[in-house]
Each structure stands twice: as structure tokens, then as C-alpha cells.
A and B are shown apart, each in its own frame.
Chain A
């Protein structure tokens, strides 16, 4: 099974900061990677799919990049609504795996 490793596990930041979260796959997954945002007590929300495609309705301050085994999610200017936990997810050969999550909290 492909393992997904996110870093950091927790990130403390301030409103207006540029934030980057990294996700590494244990083997190449091409560009089959998605990013989700989850707030406490809520279902996850799709932000990015196919590594860099922005889901409809998601603010443009969110962006994704990478291919192969290394991927990043960037929030260009952190807003109060962005404090949440973020998960990467890979798809490869009929198998889906999530990273362990990165919690973004207020510094």
C-alpha cells in the first residue's frame, strides 16, 4: 500500500501568513493527489484535485503543486476561516490513502 506522509503535523501561523504544507508519497502517484480542509465536527471539503486543479468555489489563495512523490499545498495569505486541519489523499491503482493531517492553528 502507498503511504502518505504530511509535514508538519501542526503549524502555528498568523492571519496574512503564507503557509505551505508538504505531502510525500511512498512511491510515485503521478499527479493523482487531492487536498481537503476539515473543521471540527464537519465533513472534509475538497480544495484541490489532480495535484493543482482548484475545486470550483475554493478561494484562489489556495494552490497545489507537485508530481511523482512530493506535493505541496500553499495558502498565500492565511485568513481567519482557514484555521483547520488539512489532509492530502492519493489515488493509485484502485487504492486511496489519506495523509495523517496537518493542523493549522493560531500563533
Chain B
């Protein structure tokens, strides 16, 4: 059974960057597409983007273009999401989620709380 394990909670100041990791176990990064989704406190789910380690292609939601970077280390089966120029509105739980083809996001990480506060 596959599992995604994310890095721990972060507290950042406005303008800083945060990098969240997501380690895959039970399968390999090359078998899936990794997506990142966030959820602000009391709000709904917001898709941020995806990376495909097979061809290195990344696709981002328009609102995150220029501020988000998604990378993978296939040697350790770990995916990373870095968000820069943080503002208070970026306070949220950030999830990684894997997908095989277009059959939905079947495995999710436990979430990483990122708090942006001065």
C-alpha cells in the first residue's frame, strides 16, 4: 500500500519562502504524477500544480505562476514544493497527492501546516 509522508509544520515571515517535502513509499515517483493542493483554514481545496518526473514537465494553476516551484528527487522518491514571496493569505495546509493517469488523486500526504505571520 502506497504512502506519502510530508515534512513538518513551518512558520514563516511575509516575503520568505517555504519548501515542503513529500516522500513516496510503497511505489516510486516515476509511476505517478505528483500534485500539490492547499487548504486555507476553514476553506475549500485549491489545486496548485503538478509535476511529472518522467518528462520533467510542470503545470501550475495560473495564480501561482512565478511563485511556485515543484521538483522531484527520483533517487530518494521525494517530491518538493517551494512557494516564494509568502503573504498572510498563503497560510494553509499544503497536501501532496499522487495520481495514476487521470483516475483521481488516490493517495494523499498527511498535510503540512504553513503559517505566514510577522
Contacts and interface: CB of A to CB of B under 8 A. Distances in A.
Interface string B34-76: 0101000000111100100000000101100000000000000
Interface residues of B, number: 21
A60 to B, nearest CB: 17
Nearest to A90: B47
A55 B111 contact: no
A49 B44 contact: no
Interface stretch (B11-19, B23-31, B81-89, B98-106): B98-106
Contacts of A94: 59
Most chain A CB atoms below 10 A, which of B59, B95, B104: B104
Interface residues of A, number: 25
A70 B61 CA distance: 23
Given A1-B62, A43-B110, A98 B47 contact: yes
Contacts of A100: 44
Contact of A46 (B45, B46, B50, B106): B106
Contacts of B108: 43-45
Given A96-B47, A96-B50, A46 B62 contact: no
A34 B105 contact: yes
Please indicate which of the listed interface residues B44, B61, B110 has the most CB atoms of chain A within 10 Å of its own CB.
Answer: B44
Contact of A55 (B35, B62, B102, B106): B106
Nearest to A85: B44
A42 B59 CA distance: 26
From A32, A95, A99, residue with most partner B Cβ within 10 Å: A95
Contact of B102 (A36, A44, A50): A50
28 contacts: A32-B102, A34-B104, A34-B105, A43-B95, A43-B110, A44-B95, A44-B108, A48-B104, A49-B104, A50-B102, A50-B104, A87-B44, A87-B45, A89-B45, A89-B104, A89-B105, A91-B102, A94-B59, A95-B59, A95-B61, A96-B50, A97-B47, A98-B37, A98-B44, A98-B46, A98-B47, A99-B44, A101-B45
